[in-house]
Every structure is written in structure tokens, then in C-alpha cells.
Structure 1
Amino acid sequence: MITFNPNTKGPMRYSHTFERKVGGAELNFAIGCARLGLNTGWISKLGKDEFGRYILNFVRGEGIDTSEVELVDGYPTSLNFKEILEDGSGSTFYYRSNSPTSVLTKESIIEDYIKQSKVLHITGVFAAIDKKNPGIIKHAIEIAKKHGVKVSFDPNLRLKLWTLEEAKKTLLDFLPHVDIVLSGEEEAELLFGERTIEEYIEIFKDYGVEDIVLKRGEEGSVGYRNGEMVYADPVKPKSVVDTVGAGDGFNAGYVYSYLNGKSLEESLHFANVIGSMVVTVSGDNEGLPYVEDVLAKVNNEQKIER
């Protein structure tokens, strides 16, 4: 979608000018993966309008395969407006009724496209937009499972798009088919109630999830894999400018590490580093780093500025 970022911080009612950007949880994840050097594809529909063309060109410029992205008539490209407060936190206001993704169906999901992948990434955002979308996601998951493609899942709860009851019913139905769960701690609490970290891990294990990650923001992250549980310390950013997109960047870093055979501890640290880099830049995906920049931070290399 198109996201409009305010040029001033504070309540949106007092923001008079905005800068046009590109955003969206799944798209941010795809951009994050592409910048890390992964071959990445994106399945979507955009409005056949100037905003849709802008997004399509932007995504192509990031090196993402857009062969399964279509511009459609009669459906305006979705928008959101962001409110950014002085501490870097904020809110998002959505304008996405009559979304171009309304014309996306099960038939839009090409089996051969998913078959050639290593990971299918899904989130709760697409599921929330239209009542038919959970069925499309389940169809994509079935294809992935048929061909041994791993499924990664970020619940990405957006309670401005649907009720908690609707979200829980739908998202918990996905979990038995998920290989990698990338959940915020707050999202786990919404799904399962207030519990300890260890209890959240056990619940996800009961659903059959192999790789379990809980993102904890300033407190780092926790992961479980093959009987091992790791608490990964946070990576302190130089400053916090905008927290939007940090979770998507974390997800990209974790999946990148997973595909490159890194240990759980290495994967969590790599992902934490990316999260800390993203929050220092304003915008949904502008702060998503390239792999050499992440490796330089992981290896504590000195960057030569001039």
C-alpha cells in the first residue's frame, strides 16, 4: 500500500504535510529479504492507478520478482497515514476498503510459483482484510506443504481491521501448518492471554511449530528450536526514530539466517541487529539494511565514513 508519513511528529490532526512512501507488512518483509540477497517473490494485486504503478516500479527496483503482481481496474490502491510521536512510537490509520486484493482468489495462487520456493511467508494482515482471504492463505499453505516448502508466519495482529475474536479463530487455525512462527510477545498475549515466555513457547510447541520466535522489542527476543531455548539480548540502537517496520526487518533477518543454516543464537542476534537498525530511520522499509551492513555490525567492524 501507499503509506503517508508525516513531516512533523505529534498527533496526526496537527500534521499538515506528508511524504509518500511504500509500505505493508508482507512487502516490507520481501524488501528486507531482497536486500539481504535472498531471491524473493511477491504475490499481490494493485490498483491500476498512479499509486499502483509507483509501488510496482518501486518493488521491481528492489529486485523482487513481480510476475505474480497484477494491476486491476476499478479498485484504488490502498492507503494508510501514519502518526509518529516524539518517542518514535505511533499509530496507523487505514483506508483500504474496496482493496485491489479483493479480486485475489485461490486461482490466483500458482502452484509452480510456490513449489520452487524454500519458504512461504504469511501474516495476519492479509487475512484480516477480507473474509475470503483466510481460505486463500490456507490454499497457499496446502501447496507449500505438498512440496516441502517451509511456512513462516507472523500473526501481525491489526485490531483496526478485525476483532480479536475473529483474529484468534482464524490465526490459530493456521498454526498447526506453520513451521516458523515469528510473533511479538504482545501478540502472543492477545492470542493466549497473559502467560510467561516459557508458557507461550509450550503453547506454540503444542500446535506443532518447529521454530518459535518471540520478539520482545527493547528486551530482545527469545527462540526455541530442536529442544533448545535461547534468550537473545537486545541490540541498542543509536536512536529511535520510527518503530514501524522493525518487526518485518527482524523477520527477514531470521529467515535469512535460517536458510543459511545459522544456529538459533546466531539467527536471533542477526535479526535483533536488523531490528535495531530499522528503528533509526523514518519510514516502513527505508531502514531495512543490506546484508554487508548487517554483517559489519554483527562483526563489529568500523565503518569508514570519508
Structure 2
Amino acid sequence: MLSPYKVVTIGDAMITMNPISTGPLRFVTHFERKVGGAELNFAIGCARLGLQSRWISLLGKDEFGRVIYNFTRGEGVDMTHVQFVEGYPTSLNFKEIQEDGSGKTFYYRYQSPISTFTTEMMKDEMLEGVALLHLTGVFLAIDPKNVELVQELIQIAKQKNIPISFDPNIRLKLWSIEEARKVYEMIFPDIDILLTGLDEFRLITGKDSEAELENFAAVYNIRDLVIKDGANGSKLYREGMWTRVSSFKVTPVDTVGAGDGFDAGYVYGWLHSYEPDKLLRFANGVGALVTTVSGDNEGLPYFEEVDAFINNELIIER
């Protein structure tokens, strides 16, 4: 059943080329075409859970742009504010997987369509009737001017009293940690929900103890400080109290997109006023299910699947 809550996110998307065989990329001749992108994964994750989900983006006016557009629209995501751009190719990435399972990702996103976004294109109607705005550090890292775009979107959200969730989602291939810290410090004061990993938080702030986390939340007036810790579960600091919930035991085959899925699950539970322990349990369940399927967003579950899984009614055998 479709939720009355509408969420919005903004970001780039890419065609992901996954190798059919292992080994150095120069020897791989066949690839499987997929669609990926942190914000796109979040939008799809929310839609599958039943939220009204809107994605703001620009795509190349080419065949790959059409692939992304049609795929995302087919997932039930609102594409009203996705436009095609002439002369800017849709971004690509190629994955390399070695025999031992380790890998690399090679990005081809120079002159990405999203780089043509301007503050003049930011409209109030993008956030009309919206219950929550979700942002990530990936979009901020792609192009320096995206910082100004995000700040403009934040101001629109603040005027409309729309809460904001943020996942730093550091991509050090796109910018340095010094650049990231400077931008994040500008963003943190406007964030209501911070969704981050402990290692990521330590990288950004140099802090990791619970006392330091608590002080950080107080300084920036963050309502929910959420630490995602993979197989160790997750924890939430809210109103001076910590809530900790352990992870679900699954056999992961691909962890890509698990953090995006967790974010979608957390936002769903938050909008539906779940109590802290139920909220973390639901988000943990979404993240765990994502890891049981190979691909960027293929494993993002539907609400019924999460509900059955966390209540021990769905057994994962893959």
C-alpha cells in the first residue's frame, strides 16, 4: 500500500558494467549492464517499501539515459524533475573483479549531465508536499558547484519545515578528505538525521567515542545520529539516549547498496514514527536483505519481504 509520505533526493546515476569473468579489466570481453548510483538506489529503496519517492537529476539525451529513466520510472519513482541534456553523455562505470573477490571500479563521468545543473533550476515545487529530503555526499563530491545547489535545496526545505537526512557516503576518488570535511561542516548544522558509518565518522571528524558522538550531535543540533556498523548492527543517539540493535545473520554475496537500503529503511520507519529499537531493526533488516543479492539495487526489498524477514517468517536461501 502506498504511503502518504513523500521523500525526495537529488543525485547522479550511472550505467554500471559488471564483468562476466574475473581478472584484469583489459582481459574482460563481456559485461552485464546494470543501473546504479547512491541517491538513485535510495529512491528505489523507498519506492519498494511503499513511500512516494521523487528523484531529481539530469541524464544524457542518449540510449543509456533512456535506460536509466525507464528503469527508474518502472520502479515507481516520480521522475517529474528528471531532464535529458544534449551533448553530455550519461555517466558510466566499469567494475573489475579479481579471482579472490577483490575489485576496483573505473568511473567515466567527465562532463556528466548532472554538471549542467544550476541554482536557477532549483524550484520550490520540487519539494511541494514533501515529508523529508535526503542528501548524500556523493552528489556534493561530483562537482564543486553542487555544494551551492544543495545549499539552495536545503534553504527551500527549511522554508517549508521539511526535515533533512544526510549520508556522508564519502567517495575519496572524487575529492580529498580535506575538501569533504570543509563541505560537511557547512552541511551539518542543517541536518536532522545523520546516517553514517563509524569509520566514516572517524575519518570526517577524527572522533569515535560515544562521548564525542554525543557532543557532536549537541553542537550541530542533530536529532538522530545513526551509526551503521554492518555485521555489528547499528545504534542511534536521540534525546540523550543510545539505542543499540544487533544485525541479522545472513550470508552476504554483495554489500554494494546495503548502506543506501539501510537509509531507505530508516527513513521509512522514521516517517512512520517507529520506536528507536523497531526503527533500527527495520533498517538493519533492509540492509541485510540487500547483501543477499548481487547488484547495486537488485536486492532492495519490498515492505512485505522486510516485515517477514525481521519476524523470522522469511528464510533467505540464495
- TM bin, normalised by shorter chain, reads over 0.9
Q: Deviations over 1:25-57 (max 9, x none)?
A: 000000000000000100000000000011000
1:81 maps to 94
Shift of 1:5: 1.4
**Structure 1 segment 52-71 matched on structure 2, within 5 A:** 52-71=65-84
Shift of 1:87: 7.2
Pick the aligned partner of 1:188 from 197, 201, 215: 201
Report the Cα distance in structure 1 between the residues aligned to 2:239 and 2:101, rounded to whole angstroms.
Answer: 36
**Structure 1 segment 167-246 matched on structure 2, within 5 A:** 167-237=180-250, 239-246=251-258
Pick the aligned partner of 1:72 from 74, 85, 99: 85
Pick the aligned partner of 2:267 from 236, 255, 260: 255
Q: Which runs of 5+ in 1 are unaligned?
A: none
Aligned length: 304
Moved more, 77-86 or 32-41: 77-86
Report the Cα distance in structure 1 between the residues aligned to 2:244 and 2:22, rounded to whole angstroms.
Answer: 34
Does residue 131 of the first structure (1) align with residue 157 of the second (2)?
no
> In 2 relative to 1, CA 97–303 (structure 1 residues): closer, same or farther, beyond 3 Å?
same
Shift of 1:234: 1.1
2:295 maps to 283
Normalised to the residue count of structure 1, the TM-score between the two structures is 0.94
1:292 maps to 304
The DSSP-based 3-state class of the residue aligned with 1:76 is coil
> In 2 relative to 1, CA 207–63 (structure 1 residues): closer, same or farther, beyond 3 Å?
same
Report the Cα distance in structure 1 between the residues aligned to 2:168 and 2:179, rounded to whole angstroms.
Answer: 13
**Structure 1 segment 89-108 matched on structure 2, within 5 A:** 90-108=103-121
Identity percentage over the alignment? Answer: 55
> In 2 relative to 1, CA 268–84 (structure 1 residues): closer, same or farther, beyond 3 Å?
farther
2:156 maps to 143
> In 2 relative to 1, CA 205–91 (structure 1 residues): closer, same or farther, beyond 3 Å?
farther
User: Given residue 4 of structure 1, which amino acid in structure 2 is its aligned partner?
Assistant: M
Shift of 1:198: 4.1
User: Given residue 260 of structure 1, which amino acid in structure 2 is its aligned partner?
Assistant: H
Normalised to the residue count of structure 2, the TM-score between the two structures is 0.91
- Contact 2:17/2:34, CA 8 A, preserved across alignment: yes
The DSSP-based 3-state class of the residue aligned with 1:138 is helix
Shift of 1:89: 5.9
Report the Cα distance in structure 2 between the residues aligned to 1:285 and 1:15, rounded to whole angstroms.
Answer: 23
- Contact 2:308/2:314, CA 8 A, preserved across alignment: yes
> In 2 relative to 1, CA 120–141 (structure 1 residues): closer, same or farther, beyond 3 Å?
same
Pick the aligned partner of 1:4 from 3, 13, 17: 17
Report the Cα distance in structure 2 between the residues aligned to 1:281 and 1:37, rounded to whole angstroms.
Answer: 20
Report the Cα distance in structure 2 between the residues aligned to 1:186 and 1:167, rounded to whole angstroms.
Answer: 15
Shift of 1:194: 4.8
Q: Which runs of 5+ in 2 are unaligned?
A: 1-13
- Contact 2:58/2:82, CA 8 A, preserved across alignment: yes
> In 2 relative to 1, CA 149–81 (structure 1 residues): closer, same or farther, beyond 3 Å?
same
Q: Deviations over 1:235-272 (max 9, x none)?
A: 111x2211110000000000000001101111111111
The DSSP-based 3-state class of the residue aligned with 1:29 is helix
2:170 maps to 157
